[in-house]
Amino acid sequence: TTAIENSYYNKTMQIDNQLIQLDNVSIQISLPENLGFNFSDSGNNYEFANGTLIMNITALPVGITEITFSAELNQLGGSCSQDFECASNYCFQNVCSLTFDASETQDTEQNAQQPPLPLGQNQLPDATQTNSTPEIELQANNESNGVEFAVGGEIEPGLATVNVLDNGVPASGTVSIMDPDGRTFYRMLSNGAFDFFFDREGRWRIQFGNATKEITVVRKAKPAAPEAVKLGKTASSITALEIGKQNPFPYYLLAIPLAGASIYGYRKAKRRVKVDRNIKGGIVEIKVKNNLGPLKNMRVIQLAPEGSTGDYSQEPLKKETVTGDLLEWKFQNFARGKEKALKFYYSGSELQKPVEVKVETEKGEKKTFYSGGWL
């Protein structure tokens, strides 16, 4: 279990030993790599790298052993990759940054560390407008005091960059973002822009000073999956048959085993479940293609670091484990020739564990496939 209390991150694991006392037991658990855990106090040998702790316990007694890993949250200016690693609960460009409590005023003049000028004067003449990714079309609006928001009236869920212009130039200060449930978030403008992850569908409201902009976050229909390309004859089988025609003896005998091998390889390649995974621009796409036959009770499983995923194209069952978050999608039936596509946001660069796909055939035979090729 994970809890954040009194500016501390606490993660507790329980080990239930129902055998006898065990010696030299190795455990593995996923922990935020940017927090300052003190593992040496345990007296056990350990190795901590890339958010994974491997610890050797000298003696594990019979019964339930509870181990808690605790670290103080990072203060302003500390390194981070997730909001929960910061005492301010706001990680901006891998640095713990200033945010506000929802009880505080939304007036940008409340920012004591970087007080902006009054609205209409908070301009940066020498600043250049940043190009946002994905591209966001500037919409014509009638906001007050010459403030414009570079964001479409309807966008898809995910990470977006919003530019705020004050009388035609990039603005400075703080903006507030209210989600469909009424929760308010705050972001500091950098060169007149801020990044935000719009994680749910519905109506959102962005406010800067007295100017507001309402947008609708909606997931658009996904395009139909392309049809599979059929395999053709192999060069080896054609060559063997041609040789057989030109010289009936003894070369025509080669045509039989070569053609048989070609047919066998073709059928073997077809009768599989192919699992592909692609990570690009913070988006993970998983594709599962069924060339095996009618399947049932399919499970698509992906293990990811704790708190690193979101914005799912299809909501998975999510379970916290000692090695990270276990994501699982279940499908009751999966017809032959069909393809499943799943997408979600990922804050890291690569995933160490492959995608695991478990299926059951019509005859009740259970099979497991992994990303990275035909297995």
Q: Which residue has the tokens 């007036």?
A: 107
Q: Which residue has the tokens 């014509």?
A: 140
Summarised one tens digit per residue, pLDDT across range 338-352 is 999 999 999 877 888
Residue 111 has pLDDT above 50, yes or no: no
Residues 6+ apart with CB under 8 A from 290: 273, 334, 335, 336, 337, 338, 339
Distance CA 154, CA 68 (A): 45
Q: How confident is the model at residue 270 (pLDDT cuts 50, 70, 90)?
A: low
Cα separation values, 127 from 12, 93, 367, Å:
47, 19, 58
Q: How confident is the model at residue 256 (pLDDT cuts 50, 70, 90)?
A: low
How much is the CA Rg of the chain, to the nearest whole Å? 28
The CATH code of the domain at 273-374 is 2.60.40.1170
Diameter of the chain measured on Cα atoms: 96
Q: Can you give the pLDDT at residue 300?
A: 95
Distance CA 337, CA 332 (A): 16
Q: Can you give the pLDDT at residue 322?
A: 75
Q: Can you give the pLDDT at residue 255?
A: 53
Predicted TM-score (pTM) of this structure: 0.41
The one-character DSSP state at 145 is G
Closest CA to 196 of 141, 155, 166: 155
Same fold for the domain at 98-217 and the one at 273-374?
yes
Q: Give the CB-side neighbour count of residue 354, counting CA atoms within 13 A.
A: 14
Q: Can you give the pLDDT at residue 329?
A: 93
The fraction of the chain above a pLDDT of 70, given in percent, is 73
The one-character DSSP state at 43 is -
- Measured in degrees and rounded to the nearest 5, phi and psi for residue 240 equal -65, -40
Q: Can you give the pLDDT at residue 327?
A: 93
DSSP structure string for 65-91: EEEEEEEEPB-TT-B-SSGGGBTTS-E
Supply the mean pLDDT for the chain. Answer: 75
Q: Which CATH fold would you assign to the domain 98-217?
A: Immunoglobulin-like (2.60.40)
Identify the sign of the CA torsion 293, 294, 296, 301: positive
Q: Can you give the pLDDT at residue 266?
A: 45
Domain segments of the chain: what residues? 2-72, 98-217, 235-266, 273-374
Q: How confident is the model at residue 308 (pLDDT cuts 50, 70, 90)?
A: confident
Cis bond before residue 134 (omega within 30° of 0): yes
- Measured in degrees and rounded to the nearest 5, phi and psi for residue 156 equal -90, 155
Please indicate whether residue 302 or residue 255 has the higher confidence score (pLDDT): 302
Please indicate whether residue 151 or residue 63 has the higher confidence score (pLDDT): 63
User: Helix H segments across the chain?
Assistant: 235-246, 252-270
Q: Which of 36-45, 151-160, 279-288, 320-329 has the highest mean pLDDT?
A: 279-288
